[in-house]
Amino acid sequence: MAVQINPSILSADFARLAEEAKAVQGADWLHVDVMDNHFVPNLTLGVPVVESLARATDTPLDCHLMIEDPDRWAPQYVEAGASSVTFHVEAAAAPVRLAREIRAKGARASMALKPATPIEPFEDLLPELDMLLIMTVEPGFGGQAFLDIMLPKIRRTRELIGKHGLQLWLQVDGGVSASTIERCADAGADVFVAGSAVYGAQDPAEAVRALRAQAATATAKASWACDHGATAK
């Protein structure tokens, strides 16, 4: 499977979101961080902004919900135009029902794990999902340092995906940059969120291209990709 690069608009200029979306043309998805100041100690944007952004760009929206009560809110993000909706398992009351509802409404269903949440208790849920997000920082803020200690979890998750023969995407989010993306790809990630590394760059579109090239090269050399026939874009 090809690697995917998803710039996070958390590091973009919120007053110029439509232009900021165009600045990363060539990106696979736009990553939209929704924070409610309850699940995480920060507040960003909600359904109306996602609705406007979906109208303003052709790049599909990958909504990462860092909010309480995703069972109630996640379906509204699909209706607002998100093509992928990620809820946190720590916040969901009924993750299987929620994933099925997101899919039934026509979006990709994704589940996120905070750094201290292990994957193993959720192995049986993997077939219900289109993507699993492993946080590589504590959720809440952009520009934090990548947590190396998450690499074994990425590796174990990739093994579980292989064991069950699933076509599940494995996303990493937090501190992903030119100096960390290769380790993530080597461990088994294939979808890479990058906020400050893209929007903090002189040329955001070039930063996306450079990250993609690095991830693709690391994936081509990775044992998990050789075993499962993954190919670089």
Residues that bind ligand 5RP (CB under 6 A): 8, 10-11, 31, 33, 64, 66, 137, 139-144, 173-176, 193-197
- 187 contacts 154 by C-beta, under 8 angstroms: yes
Measured between alpha carbons, how far is 186 from 203 in angstroms, rounded to an integer?
Answer: 26
One residue of 32, 64, 74, 218 binding Fe ion per CB under 5 A: 64
Nearer to ligand 5RP, 187 or 197 (CB): 197
Q: Which is nearer to Fe ion, 85 or 225 (CB)?
A: 85
88 in a known ligand binding site: no
Please choose which of Fe ion, ligand 5RP, none residue 137 contacts, taking the beta carbon within 5 to 8 angstroms, the exact cut-off set by kind: ligand 5RP
CA distance 17 to 57: 10
Query: Is 173 a residue of the active site?
Result: yes
In the complex with Fe ion, the residue whose CB is nearer, 76 or 144, is 144
Q: In residues, how long is the chain?
A: 233
Minimum Å distance from CB 112 to ligand 5RP?
8
Q: Which position among 36, 62, 173, 190 is part of the footprint of Fe ion (CB under 5 A)?
A: 173
The active-site residue, picked from 33, 36, 130, 186, is 33
Q: Are 99 and 132 in contact (CB under 8 A)?
A: no
26 is in an annotated binding site: no
Q: Using CB under 5 A, which of the segments 51-59, 64-72, 76-84, 116-124 binds Fe ion? A: 64-72
Question: Closest-CB residue for Fe ion?
Answer: 64
Q: Does the active-site annotation cover 62?
A: no
Name the closest residue to ligand 5RP (Cβ): 195
Question: Residue 136 or residue 219: which is nearer to ligand 5RP going by CB?
Answer: 136
Active site residue: 28, 130, 173, 186, which one?
173
Hey, which residues between 22 and 51 contact Fe ion (CB under 5 A)? 33
What is the SS3 assignment for the chain?
A: CCCEEEEEHHHCCHHHHHHHHHCCCCCCCEEEEEEECCCCCCECCCHHHHHHHHHHCCCCEEEEEECCCHHHHHHHHHHCCCCEEEEECCCCCCHHHHHHHHHHCCCEEEEEECCCCCCHHHHHHHHHCCEEEEECCCCCCCCCCCCHHHHHHHHHHHHHHHHCCCCCEEEEECCCCCCCHHHHHHHCCCEEEECHHHHCCCCHHHHHHHHHHHHHHHHHHCHHHHHHCCCCC
Q: Out of Fe ion, ligand 5RP, none, which partner does residue 150 contact, by CB within 5 to 8 A per kind?
A: none
Residues labelled catalytic:
33, 173
Interface residues toward Fe ion, by CB under 5 A: 33, 64, 173
